[in-house]
A and B are shown apart, each in its own frame.
Chain A
Amino acid sequence: MIENILDRLKADIRFQEGLTSCMNCGICTAICPAAEFYKYDPRVICNIVQSRNINEIEQLLKGDEIWYCGQCMSCKTRCPRGNAVGMVITVLRKLSQETGYFVESEKGRQQFAIEKAVGQNIINQGYCVHPDIATYENHPEQGPVWKWYLDNIEELSTKMGAIYKQRGAGALRDVGEENLDEIKKIFEVTGGMAFYDNIEQASQKAAEELGVDFQEEYFMKVYSENSGNHNR
């Protein structure tokens, strides 16, 4: 068991201000798009957090629930007591990532895929999402038009006014080494890099325990695994 979970939660300003006076009316769950589909109840999460029950909070950090939230913050727009459940979720997620508990659930393990894809893409290309990482194989939901787009990306970019991987003004431009160096420095100074490293190390350990090759197989495993047991 990790020490000081409660203290670490309480130290976060988003936690301090995100949940101060819940009266369990359920309006957050009633407006929540995720709660309609997933086995997810933001009100119950507030309840658990307010109970200050460390064992139950730990189960949250190890479970799938906190990863169902889409961070749309609809809960904040409705709460009659001014709470922001989405903020509380953010803090729980961060703590789950920091403690390594995220590897204990299927949705949590996907943090590795996000870190590898979106996270590293920011460092390598200066983009959260860039067509280069959204391969057709990994994104069948985009349909065959996406394959056609990627196959002809240079020509299409010119037609659409983008400048794919070139210096200058326009979408998909190369942001330049000097800017990437700056982004990297920001991530080093603010602890972002250490945060990534932590996710990688915990994931590597999880891969070993699961008997999955970390370099070759683990990404696709966490990216594609689906127990089918997430919906209501």
Chain B
Amino acid sequence: MNIVDCIIIGGGPAGMEAANRLTDQGFQVLLFEKEPELGGKLRQWDKLFPDFTLAQDILKMLNDNIASNKLEIKTGNTIRELRQSTDEGNSKEWEVIDGNGESHRARTVLITTGFDFFDATRKEEYGYGIYPNVITSVELEEQLKNGKIEIASNSKNDPNIAFIQCVGSRDEKVGNHYCSRNCCICAVKQAIEVKELLPQSEVTCYYMDLRMFGQSYEELYRKAQQEFRVNFIRGRVSEISPTLENRVILKAEDTLLSRPIRATVDLVVLMVGMEPSETTAQLSKSLNMSDPYGYIASKNSYTADNETQHKGLFVAGTAKRQLAIPDVIRDADAAAFTIAKHLKNGK
């Protein structure tokens, strides 16, 4: 049986980038992707923060590299099992049982199974799936891609649009204590895009803290305020209810003014956070390497962040934690470097 150098599970940006970097160096790679196409969540996105780079441009670069490299790709294939080879004398090898029940062996495995969006129906008080005016940031991105924002209410006035932060993040009630890191800046980006499409709309972001830590994030936040007149209110929304005019009312406290407020709006965008994908959670559990939320815990987040506690098993991207596209690609590069070193040392 052929034993490849590396099996990569998950063909999103992390898996694609790592596959390219490993084949660049002459290693034999087998890449699994559960969807019919490579690209992961990047395929759902229109433009990226903070500079409105087209997601498809990044995707094209990754795909072009894939096309010029010689590697085996199995799309539409959800793996069933990942385990250390049980053959005697081969305990350093890994075995993957794919969706068709076929066995594949490799010297190393890289997990790039990524994240899923928080299921907004779990925050029932926000009425997602109940009121047509309440959508998620993922759905808004789809609308932005199509260049048309759908306003469910039949109000004749210029629409009021609200963005709500931290839906499924920083929230004990849904078991996610962590910050998803990308939603703050994503809302700023989307708010600007909404204002570009609907210049007469009133756009307000409800936030707790605006975490503008990345390069050019703070500048984009300022631009949203100065050039696009996006409003920012510091307060977590407690609940959303409908009006007779098919609009919705949201309740919050303007915590900087110490005043409870109600706002009647035509469209609410829930900034859904990130959670480990189903496969990420399954693998982290079955191989006993889960963090408190089901993400895969690396061996050492300071010094061995692409390694796991299992020899020959590596991890990259949002299977570990919440990252943005540039972080994911850098992390995949680092993983390829670490795996190459491991393969060259023959252990």
Residues of A bordering B, CB below 8 Å = 23-27, 29-32, 35-36, 41, 43-44, 78-82
Is B172 interfacial (CB 8 A cutoff)? yes
Complex CA–CA separation, A43 to B173 (angstroms):
18
A25, B258: Cβ atoms under 8 Å?
no
Task: Return the contact of B253 from the options A41, A79, A81, A82 (Cβ within 8 A).
Answer: A41
Set of chain B residues within 8 Å of A24, measured between Cβ atoms: 208, 255
Return B61 CB to nearest CB of chain A, in Å: 39
Set of chain B residues within 8 Å of A26, measured between Cβ atoms: 234-236, 252-255
A80, B260: Cβ atoms under 8 Å?
no
Residues from 202 to 260 in B contacting A, C-beta threshold 8 Å: 208-209, 234-239, 251-255, 258, 260
Task: Return the contact of A80 from the options B171, B209, B239 (Cβ within 8 A).
Answer: B171
Set of chain A residues within 8 Å of B253, measured between Cβ atoms: 26-27, 29-30, 35, 41, 43
Set of chain A residues within 8 Å of B237, measured between Cβ atoms: 27, 30
Complex CA–CA separation, A41 to B257 (angstroms):
11
Complex CA–CA separation, A43 to B166 (angstroms):
18
Complex CA–CA separation, A23 to B253 (angstroms):
13
Residues from 131 to 170 in B contacting A, C-beta threshold 8 Å: 166, 170
With A26-B255, A41-B253 as known contacts, state yes or no: A35 contacts B238, CB within 8 Å: no
Set of chain A residues within 8 Å of B172, measured between Cβ atoms: 79-82
B260, A35: Cβ atoms under 8 Å?
yes
Set of chain B residues within 8 Å of A44, measured between Cβ atoms: 258
B260, A29: Cβ atoms under 8 Å?
yes
Chain B interface secondary structure, helix, strand, loop or mixed?
mixed
Residue among B209, B234, B235, B254 with max Cβ neighbours from chain A (10 Å) = B235
Complex CA–CA separation, A36 to B238 (angstroms):
13
1/0 contact string of B169-206 vs chain A (CB within 8 Å): 01111000000000000000000000000000000000
Set of chain B residues within 8 Å of A79, measured between Cβ atoms: 172-173
Return B222 CB to nearest CB of chain A, in Å: 23
Complex CA–CA separation, A35 to B258 (angstroms):
10
User: What are 20 A-B pairs with beta-carbon distances under 8 A?
Assistant: A26-B235, A26-B252, A26-B254, A29-B253, A29-B255, A30-B235, A30-B236, A30-B238, A30-B251, A30-B252, A30-B260, A31-B239, A43-B253, A78-B173, A78-B238, A79-B172, A79-B173, A80-B166, A80-B236, A82-B172
Complex CA–CA separation, A31 to B234 (angstroms):
15
B251, A31: Cβ atoms under 8 Å?
yes
Return A56 CB to nearest CB of chain B, in Å: 15
Set of chain B residues within 8 Å of A29, measured between Cβ atoms: 253, 255, 258, 260
1/0 contact string of B313-328 vs chain A (CB within 8 Å): 0000000000000000
With A27-B253, A30-B236, A80-B172 as known contacts, state yes or no: A41 contacts B258, CB within 8 Å: yes
Complex CA–CA separation, A205 to B235 (angstroms):
43
B255, A25: Cβ atoms under 8 Å?
yes
Residue among B125, B171, B253, B254 with max Cβ neighbours from chain A (10 Å) = B253
A27, B238: Cβ atoms under 8 Å?
yes
Set of chain A residues within 8 Å of B258, measured between Cβ atoms: 29, 41, 43-44
Complex CA–CA separation, A81 to B175 (angstroms):
10
Interchain residue pairs A-B with the least CB separation, the first 3: A26-B253, A30-B238, A25-B236
Chain A residue with the shortest CB-CB distance to B174? A80
Return B23 CB to nearest CB of chain A, in Å: 45
Not counting A26-B252, A80-B170, a sample of 10 additional A-B residue pairs whose C-beta atoms are within 8 angstroms of each other reads A23-B170, A26-B254, A27-B253, A30-B237, A30-B261, A31-B251, A41-B253, A41-B258, A78-B173, A82-B173
Complex CA–CA separation, A25 to B171 (angstroms):
11
Set of chain B residues within 8 Å of A32, measured between Cβ atoms: 260
Chain A residue with the shortest CB-CB distance to B251? A30
Return A73 CB to nearest CB of chain B, in Å: 14
